Amino acid sequence: MTTGSPFLIKICGLSTPETLHVALDSGADMVGFVFHPKSPRFITPERAGELAAIARGKAEITALIVDWDERQASELVAALKPDWLQLHGRETPGQTAALRRAAGRPVMKALGVATADDLKSVDAYRDVADRILLDAKPPKDAAYPGGHGRPFDWTLLAELDPGFPFMLGGGLDPANVAEAIRLARPAGVDVSSGVESAPGIKDPARIVEFIAAARKAAAAVQEGSSA
């Protein structure tokens, strides 16, 4: 985490006005809507538009897409007007740059991590993505990307340039987010299943608890770094 920089908390996979309001009222910096049909958090662009109208101006709006082409991304941006595109598939650095140009929006590229070797891909994306999300690799037989509620070994991130800002995802929840922030020193955290009572069903109490725990842990790390 860069000392003195704002720490970002993103709640992803929101699908109802009620839980969106909880996230916003609790201080989420970013809210994410999922457009991958195989995900239990999938919502239509029409539904996302209704939710985005609530969030706009209160938090940054992120549209999560998986292996879309430039036309699809451009059409979604025109309809939804998100602040960010989150690329959660197998997009190459070249495709990432192309989507960024076509959509005219900053992009966050998610990279799956299971071993130290997986971090070798980070450098290839640093110049084509505006933000990197280090997420847990999905199980081999998974129907959709993401951490599936399973964290990876955060100590692997000690190999990264300490001045490199990244967001951390994958298996985070209210109980472990403080330890994740202490060990990994990310610039922000991204949670989805960790604040749910069932796949795709956000739990308001867990959202509140997660944001409070993350904010407290980030403040402690920043105070320690500046001491």
pLDDT in tens, 141-195: 555 555 546 789 999 998 888 788 999 999 999 999 999 999 999 999 999 999 9
DSSP reduced 3-state for 62:
strand
Question: Is the pLDDT assigned to residue 128 strictly greater than 90?
Answer: yes
Alpha-carbon distance of 135 to 169, in angstroms, equals: 5
Model pLDDT for residues 68-113, shown as the tens digit of each residue: 999 999 999 999 999 999 999 999 999 999 999 999 999 999 999 9
Query: How many CB atoms neighbour CB 46 within 10 A?
Result: 9
Partners of residue 135 on adjacent β-strands:
112
In the chain, where are the structural domains located?
Answer: 8-226
The pLDDT assigned to 138 comes to: 74
Q: Which residues are part of the catalytic machinery?
A: 12, 135
Alpha-carbon distance of 9 to 28, in angstroms, equals: 5
The residue ranking higher by pLDDT, 143 or 17, is 17
Query: How many residues would you count in the chain?
Result: 227
| CATH code, residues 8-226 | 3.20.20.70
Where does residue 201 rank: exposed (0-12), middle (13-18), buried (19+ CB within 10 A)? Answer: middle
